[in-house]
Chain A
Amino acid sequence: MAEEVKKSRPAPDPNSAKYKLGQIAAKAYSDAMEAKKRGEMVGWCSSNFPVEIPATLGLYVCYPENQAAGIAARGGGERLCSVSEGDGYSNDICAYARISLAYAKLKEAPEQDMPMPDFLLCCNNICNCMIKWYENISKELGIPMIMIDIPFNPDYEVSDAETEYIKAQFWDAIRQLEEITGKKWTDERFKEVMESSGRASRMWIEATSQARHVPSPFNGFDLLNHMAVMVTARGTKEAGDAMETLLKEYKDNHDKGVSTFRAEEKYRIMFEGIACWPWLRVTSTGLKSRGINMVTTIYADAFGFIYDDFDGMCRAYANVPNCMNLEHSRDKRIKLCKDNHVEGLLVHTNRSCKLWSGFMPEMSRQIGEACKIPVASFDGDQADPRNFSEAQYDTRVQGLMEIMEANKGGNK
């Protein structure tokens, strides 16, 4: 039997955005691990919790959604989901939650380890499923849970009543965290964090908006990796620096006429929904092989937290995807489609996410009509590999491509 010959890959350029962003994402885990070893308290935090709060208090937090995505992308999704199902959790429950509940039980996963939590920071602006998931972990592990409730907004704008409610909860959460951890809030530190978060957000939005160029200077799948930094570290100076490097690279790519999309860009689409992490390569290849570049996603907008003061921060966290009404959600996507010259919309009907998928058929119809672009959907799951069919994906993408081609006049 011949020995496996591994191709040696060139050492990554430590000055590249990819390297810097990868380091920041990895460091978030290693810093938390080291903090735990030193005896410091570590929290688990939902992805759209106002990270400015733990960052200002100097707390180490990890992100179970990010961990679950990592575990799923590295092939561990089904194994951990099965552990939770064995405990009695339905396989209809969000796969991130199933993975996380399994990890809370097993306390280790070779795909992505994370220190066990001393407290939980939950925010339901992404979904109410998050509440139940964290309730169960809080009860199982006997640790405090801090819940910031940001209700689904039925209106276009965030009302004063909602802002006031959110603001009171933010201060309540800060007070509780001070009590639990002994750390102290200072307005000076908050100002620094707010500025870092704002800088990282501006750079992120500006970088992702480079997709307005035709061809795009980047492959949209890059964003799915880079956004991890916006989730876990947007309140840090390093995140802003790395995002600035990313922006510069994308601008340089455009100037030089190159792209990280390693194929001829024949079609440009928006990808709707969370990535199919267990099938990332398949979903990416299915597009690239047809010359389809996913030039934008709602993530391009979602992690842009730009505000000027504490009240502004409260409103920003109420204006995240899954917390906005259909019209507001639709208009943000229409803008992304138009700004980035999108020719088709590919919708991931994500079995794990009832909220994201529950009004997507109507919203995507409206986006398609407003932008005069075809819409195709496929069934999948963000982390459970069993809920995806490669053949269906292939057929749907092919269909979308044929309509985009016809719209270009290619099939006349």
Chain B
Amino acid sequence: MTANEWLAKLHEAASCPKKHMERYLSQGKKVVAVAPVYTPMELIHSMGLVPMGVWGADVEIKEAKKYYPAFICSIMQTILEMGIKGEYDGVSAIVIPSLCDSLKTLGQNWKYAVKEIPFIPMSYPQNRKPDYGIKFTKAGYQRVISDLTIAAGAQFSEAALAESIKVYNEHNQVMREFAEIASTARLTAAERNDVFKSAWFMLPEEHTAVVKELNAALKEGPEDEGKARVLVTGILADSPSLLKILDDNGIKVVFDDVAHESRQYRIDVPDMANPMDALAQKFADMDNCTLLYDKEKKRVDYIIEQAKAHSADGVIVLMTKFCDPEEFDYVPIKRACEAAGLKHLNIEVDRQMVNYQQAGTMIQAFKEMF
């Protein structure tokens, strides 16, 4: 198959998550929804369950307004909206971490708004690196195991977790390889996003197999030339209209620091005797994310380093409206870009955007600076 054919397959998965969920359910599998930004997917997978990402959708918010004031991010609002409207019917449970203030409220609202799908909290520590933090992460995992046992009748074993960790580590490696290949290969921003987005709706072993083939095909294919090279950062970058504007303006995404995309694949579970210890260590090792305590603001340095490493000429911040952690990080990112001589653009986005004219004009003007 050609790269385009593999991309078409991933586009289909990214566009029709419900179809994939129904396929898994028809195979007798149980599906567990996982909310942004991090959840122990290795653990869920090891219990024979299919973790599927829920990051909301570009839909009108109606029912969720009974629960949320307008100034909560539209990712949370549309997750709740879709839950209320039955879009996730068939799912055995939803795991929601409490890594930001809005996520804390999503779990609380979920209990009353979507009673038929059990809410499973995942409490991560912000002081995640010391031994006491790692111990608390493990306590959070134990809670998830216990709740999944009740909600889905699933069983946990360390041996199965060790196997799932291998599956996820391989997926991480293949996704990191894709991100590097995509920095030069001829690929649109929308196609690049399909590869990341589809990962949320497929079992990792299935997705790994497809992306491996895609990587091989892309390596053989032509390179993108003559485009403005940018690093994109933010929570989410999956709006087809916005990605089309990037493509129409000859802007190439050479790397990303997007929570929905590469942030998921940076860190592998280390090789340790006990798989539970290893999984907790993975969370301790994670950095460079707005939702993880970062007093040295290493994420800012990371963005600049990666922009330079991938020969980016600029940085586009896709700012999810009402995401205050990202809004706090924006100012140091902006200053660091200026200090490093990188052009930068801040575009506010949300799940409710219907008119992209302003974003289009901003991106067009940004491109003209190159």
Contact = CB atoms under 8 A, between A and B. Distances in A.
A361 interface: yes
Nearest to A131: B293
Contacts of B102: 354-355, 358
Contact of A135 (B66, B105, B136, B297): B297
Contacts of B294: 135
A93 B69 contact: no
Chain A interface residue bracket vs B? 35 or more
A359 B132 contact: no
B327 A92 contact: yes
Given A145-B295, A325-B108, A152 B123 contact: yes
A172 B328 contact: no
A357 B67 CA distance: 10
A326 B105 CA distance: 9
Interface string B115-145: 0000001011111001011011001000000
A127 interface: yes
Nearest to B138: A161
B206 interface: no
B296 A139 contact: yes
Contacts of A152: 98, 104, 123
Interface string A140-154: 000001011101111
Contacts of A133: 328
A291 to B, nearest CB: 29
Contact of A361 (B67, B98, B125, B293): B67
Given A138-B295, A361-B67, A165 B135 contact: yes
A147 B295 contact: yes
Contacts of A128: 99-101, 104, 126, 325
Interface string A190-213: 000000000000000000000000
Interface stretch (B8-16, B31-39, B329-337): B329-337
Contacts of A89: 327-328, 330-331
A136 interface: yes
Interface in A80-107: 87-90, 92-94, 97
B362 to A, nearest CB: 15
Contacts of A169: 127, 132
A198 B136 CA distance: 29
A151 B108 contact: no
Contact of A154 (B98, B330, B346): B98
Interface in B331-361: 331-332, 334, 346
> Which interface residue of B68, B324, B331 has the most chain A CB atoms within 10 A?
B324
Contacts of A252: none
B234 interface: no
A132 B329 CA distance: 8
B69 A162 contact: no
Nearest to B335: A88
B29 interface: no
Given A129-B101, A354-B324, A359-B109, A87 B331 contact: yes
Interface string A341-359: 0000000010100110111
B63 to A, nearest CB: 12
B293 A172 contact: no
A147 B104 CA distance: 19
Contacts of A355: 101-102, 104-105
Contact of B321 (A92, A93, A162, A362): A92
A385 B84 CA distance: 35
A165 B133 contact: yes
Nearest to B130: A172
Given A89-B331, A325-B108, A354-B72, A139 B123 contact: no
Contacts of A354: 71-72, 101-102, 105, 322, 324
Contacts of B133: 149, 165
A131 B128 CA distance: 14
Given A135-B297, A145-B295, A355-B101, A326 B108 contact: yes
B9 to A, nearest CB: 38
Contacts of B71: 92, 351, 354, 357
A145 B325 CA distance: 17
Interface in A160-174: 161-162, 164-165, 168-169, 172
A390 to B, nearest CB: 19
Nearest to A159: B139
B227 interface: no
> Which interface residue of A138, A149, A165, A363 has the most chain B CB atoms within 10 A?
A165
Nearest to A89: B331
A88 B135 CA distance: 38
Given A131-B126, A149-B127, A165-B132, A358 B69 contact: yes
A151 B123 contact: yes
Nearest to A325: B108
B132 A168 contact: yes
Given A135-B297, A139-B332, A326-B108, 6 more contacts: A88-B334, A88-B346, A145-B295, A147-B293, A149-B133, A354-B71
29 contacts: A88-B330, A88-B346, A90-B319, A93-B324, A127-B101, A133-B328, A136-B331, A139-B296, A139-B332, A147-B126, A148-B127, A149-B126, A149-B127, A149-B293, A151-B125, A151-B136, A152-B104, A152-B123, A154-B98, A162-B136, A165-B136, A354-B105, A355-B102, A358-B69, A358-B106, A358-B109, A362-B66, A362-B113, A379-B69
Interface pairs A-B: 6 shortest CB-CB: A358-B105, A168-B132, A154-B121, A161-B139, A132-B328, A149-B126
